[in-house]
Amino acid sequence: MFEFGEDKPKEECGVFGIYAPDQEVARLTYYGLYALQHRGQESAGIAVSDGRSIALHKGMGLVSEVFSDSVVESMMGKMAIGHVRYSTTGSSLLANAQPLVVHYQKGMMALAHNGNLTNALELREELGKNGAVFQTTIDSEVIINLITRYRRDSLEDALVKTMMDLRGAYALVILAEDKLFGLRDPHGVRPLCIGRVGDRYCLASESCALDTIGAEFIRDVEPGEIVVIDEEGLHSRQGLTKTARSSCAFEYIYFARPDSTMDQLNVSASRRQMGIELARECPIEADLVIAVPDSGTASALGYATALGIPFGEGLIKNRYVGRTFIQPTQAMREVGVRLKLNANTSVLKDKRVVMIDDSIVRGTTSCKLVDMVKKAGAKEVHFLISSPPVAYPCYYGIDTAEREKLIANQLDIEGIRKFIGADSLHYISEEGLIRALGTDAVCLACFNGLYPIPISSMNRGKNDFELKKC
Ligand code: SF4
């Protein structure tokens, strides 16, 4: 059954880490994860270390469902890491929830990963031949196995060697040997930033988590960098030479929270700029600009301001619909749609409307939105999209659906327009998106198929593979 709202790419994970012996690290991690909840809603976990042993609590569900006050209170230590995860159906297993914790020759280690390895299957096969056993189906376990394989080296050297083995996208937070580590792949595909709380440091997927715990943003972890945080403070080492930066463009278009700043780009300002570029590329004579809330809002405001057209709340979002509402029957499908979003008739009636959304993945949602706005009395509905057409799957940690389910892989723009029933349809161009972001140091592979990191033939076509992404 179609569920309204599921027709969007899904972020795989969010990570958080803190070293602060004088503070309640579990509680701060809990709040950090709360701020990152949009990056994954299926499982959550926190690992806390006192420098010798690591306590772990993880479970299926939202951060608020997994952690009670008493659990957070009981997790005492000097440093902690946390993780929120989204996974594709079938991999929603507690064993796959993170952080992962292992005992190895040098003690205990905890790891949390955002991203997706593109050579995970080969690495897993090779490790398996050498006797490694796996308890999960996620690629993150391959990373922790590799690190322990280099146990004769110092941990920092082991991390460098592990990075040399890995291909793909990864932002990692690791607890081991009385230290907190943060690592980012040499292309910097997935975000990771550093904050300061008093004279202590923390790491987070997005700066909104730093704001939430009252930490000051210091900087982003550089591509290929290893950050080490301990009693001495923060120091860093370039694990791998950085290659051309390829931050995920979709973070700015849709995933990240508008109040986050990643790699020097504020998300809300970037989205507004996308709207201005859309206005330049496709000015439409209209009476009203509306957004598909929430990620289309900043672009719609940018478009409306650039062309001097009024912006209105044409679609109203119900903020209290979670994952757990009883799915409507087939006969009540429309109720399911309206439960999450409803058209505001008083705003839309008799208007020529420009509606702005961040992306079209399969097209099923867009169809229903156009229909809803027309039924509310709009004379015309022009659909503008602040991303280029999503025509290729992502192998770097985003679930974009399989290639053949992507409508832009199957139909041209006129075909998509007819399918969704809009009067006109325009996607921002790649050039317009780059202008809006002010940089071309971004991955655009799901739009143009030019993958900045090679995908092994074993992993290609395995966007929903046995080895689950995270
Ligand atoms: S392929 Fe698309 S979703 Fe994946 S990292 Fe690149 S821009 Fe982001």
* Residue of minimum CA distance from atom 5 in ligand 1: 248
Residue 414 makes CB contacts below 8 A (sequence gap 6+) with none
The string of pLDDT tens digits covering residues 263-291 is 999 999 999 999 999 999 999 999 999 99
CATH 3.30.1490.480 at 266-439, yes or no: no
Pocket of ligand 1 (CB under 6 A): 189, 248-250, 394, 396, 398, 443-446
* Residue of minimum CA distance from atom 4 in ligand 1: 394
Q: Which atom of ligand 1 is nearest to the CA of 445?
A: 1
The string of pLDDT tens digits covering residues 385-395 is 999 999 999 99
Tokens read off for 65: 């469902």
Testing ligand 1's pocket by substitution, the residue of 39, 114, 248, 460 carrying the most ligand atoms inside 8 A of its CB is: 248
Give me ligand 1 centre to Cα 57, in Å: 31
Q: Do the first three CATH levels of 10-246 and 266-439 match, i.e. the same topology?
A: no
* Domain boundary assignment for the chain: 10-246, 266-439
The CATH number of the structural domain formed by 10-246 is 3.60.20.10
Please check the confidence at residue 327 and state whether its pLDDT lies above 80.
Answer: no
Give me ligand 1 centre to Cα 59, in Å: 28
Q: Is 22 helix (H, G, I), strand (E, B) or coil?
A: coil
pLDDT grade for 91, boundaries at 50, 70 and 90: low
Is the distance from CB of 274 to CB of 428 less than 8 angstroms?
yes
Q: To 5 degrees, how large is the angle CA 294–CA 314–CA 278?
A: 65
Residue 126 makes CB contacts below 8 A (sequence gap 6+) with none
Residue 2 has what pLDDT?
A: 27
* Residue of minimum CA distance from atom 8 in ligand 1: 248
Q: To 5 degrees, how large is the angle CA 148–CA 149–CA 155?
A: 50
Give me ligand 1 centre to Cα 250, in Å: 6
Tokens read off for 279: 């206005």
Please check the confidence at residue 440 and state whether its pLDDT lies above 50.
Answer: yes
Testing ligand 1's pocket by substitution, the residue of 396, 444, 451 carrying the most ligand atoms inside 8 A of its CB is: 396
The string of pLDDT tens digits covering residues 233-254 is 999 999 998 788 999 999 999 9
* Residue of minimum CA distance from atom 6 in ligand 1: 443
367 is annotated as an active-site residue: no
Does 294 sit behind a cis peptide bond, omega within 30 degrees of 0 on the bond before it? yes
Residue 88 has what pLDDT?
A: 46
Is the distance from CB of 229 to CB of 240 less than 8 angstroms?
no
Residue 466 has what pLDDT?
A: 36
Please check the confidence at residue 324 and state whether its pLDDT lies above 60.
Answer: no
Please check the confidence at residue 186 and state whether its pLDDT lies above 80.
Answer: yes
The string of pLDDT tens digits covering residues 95-113 is 889 999 999 988 999 999 9
- For 218-233, the DSSP string reads EEEPPTTEEEEEETTE
Give me ligand 1 centre to Cα 212, in Å: 27
The string of pLDDT tens digits covering residues 137-177 is 888 999 999 999 998 999 999 999 999 999 999 999 999 99
d(CA 63, CA 73): 15
